[in-house]
A and B are shown apart, each in its own frame.
Chain A
Amino acid sequence: MRCDETKPLMSAYFAQELTFREREELDEHLRGCRFCQEELEAYQRTWAALGAWEDVPPRPGLREELLARIAGEAVPAAPSRRERWSVRPLLWPALLAAALSVAASLFLPYERIIELCRLGLRSSGLELPEGAIYFLAGTLYGLLPLLLVGPLMGRGTPGRSPFQGLSTGCLFVLAIFPYALVQCSTFGVGLALSLIGGMAAGAIGGSLGGFWLASKGLALSGR
């Protein structure tokens, strides 16, 4: 080891950061080099001199002030990854939306809405195929309930994200699917699929829109 190679090792020497091999090589060089011995002693005196700046204890009241701030802030815990991706808090808004959709279909059966859609489109001069009319009717059964429960979606769902809105829509579709299938059994496969597809599309749109409204509302309220 040359003299210029020993210098970078000297500060690491006092921080006890030398490898066994580095330490051995340095010691071996020091045994035969008076100049580097003196240099190491200078580093040693510097290292020791730094000890003159001693620790001071923190002010005694700091602990109490800190704990009071924590108690006063009542900081909500940051959501964990599991919480952030959990669909459990979204289950009941989805079920509520499905219940609303079922209730709506009891007052206004699918056939009635389909008829109203057909009349509405005709009066505005639009002639759409039957499948599209069924799709449109289904959209209303998905869109409106999820828009209505939108403000509820933000509650109890930490780290709100569009993913949660989308999940609510998917859960709604899963919940309503058996009921819709039974109700559409007289329509024929193509029209039934159009209506249920429309319902799913409306649910996705409604859940994202509802969730966005919920987020806006919560942001405005400062939460």
Chain B
Amino acid sequence: MSSRDEELMLDLKRGDLEAFTILYERYQRRLYNFILRYVEDPSTAEDLFQETFLKVYRLREAYDQKALFSTWLYTIARNLCWDELKSPRRRQAAPSQPPRLPSSEPADPSPGPLGALEAKEREALVRKAIASLPDVDREVLILSRYEGLRYEEIAKVLGTSAQAVKARAHRALTALKEHLKQHGGLA
């Protein structure tokens, strides 16, 4: 079984479903968390996560092997998330419906209940700070900070220039710095 993402897509084009499951295993956690951070609602995130992989399967013949699979995957996911955020249904629900977020396990449970509580508070503060960013800055920050994508790659996902990504990333981090400073989130 070939191991590069792009080769796995070629296998998938040939009808090898095993290649699809390998790609799924490889990207499921990263992609799910990207979508979750983007839409901030676990049930919507699950739907969009499944839709993204369904699209990968449906559009497998249209995939251009010269492009990085990860870029293609994030482009699909980002477009679905963007459409979701801009949908009238979501816009109507947004003001009255606070984001429901799953509680994640703290990285190190050893600090005890107090430490875990503090970790949750810090996490809530970060979520709130990121949610306060404009969508165009927020998506750049998520792709850069949490997904570890290079600016060039982010530019391809968003269909913009690396220079614009750099500017948005800086704007986002500066706004977060100010937000966290105001709310006591910076140690």
Contacts and interface: CB of A to CB of B under 8 A. Distances in A.
Interface string B138-169: 00010011100011000000000000001101
If over half of A's interface residues share one DSSP class (helix, strand or loop), that class is named, otherwise mixed; here it is: helix
B50 A65 contact: yes
A26 to B, nearest CB: 13
B173 A46 contact: yes
Interface string B159-187: 00000001101101110110011000111
A17 B148 CA distance: 11
Interface residues of B, number: 55
A115 to B, nearest CB: 53
B145 A78 contact: no
A15 B145 contact: yes
A46 B173 CA distance: 7
B4 interface: no
A78 B176 contact: no
Given A15-B151, A46-B176, A54 B58 contact: no
A56 interface: yes
B145 A49 contact: no
Contacts of A62: 28, 32, 46, 49-50
Contacts of B50: 62, 65-66, 69
Interface stretch (B66-74, B88-96, B100-108): B100-108
Interface residues of A, number: 36
Nearest to A42: B177
Interface of B is mostly: helix
Contacts of B30: 55
Interface string A10-27: 111011010000000000
A11 B169 contact: yes
B36 interface: yes
A67 B50 CA distance: 10
Contacts of A15: 144-145, 151, 169
Interface in A69-93: 69-70, 73, 75, 77-80
A43 B173 contact: yes
Interface of B: 13, 17, 20-21, 24, 28-30, 32-33, 36-37, 46, 49-50, 53-54, 57-62, 102, 104-107, 119, 122-123, 125-127, 130, 141, 144-146, 150-151, 166-167, 169-170, 172-174, 176-177, 180-181, 185-187
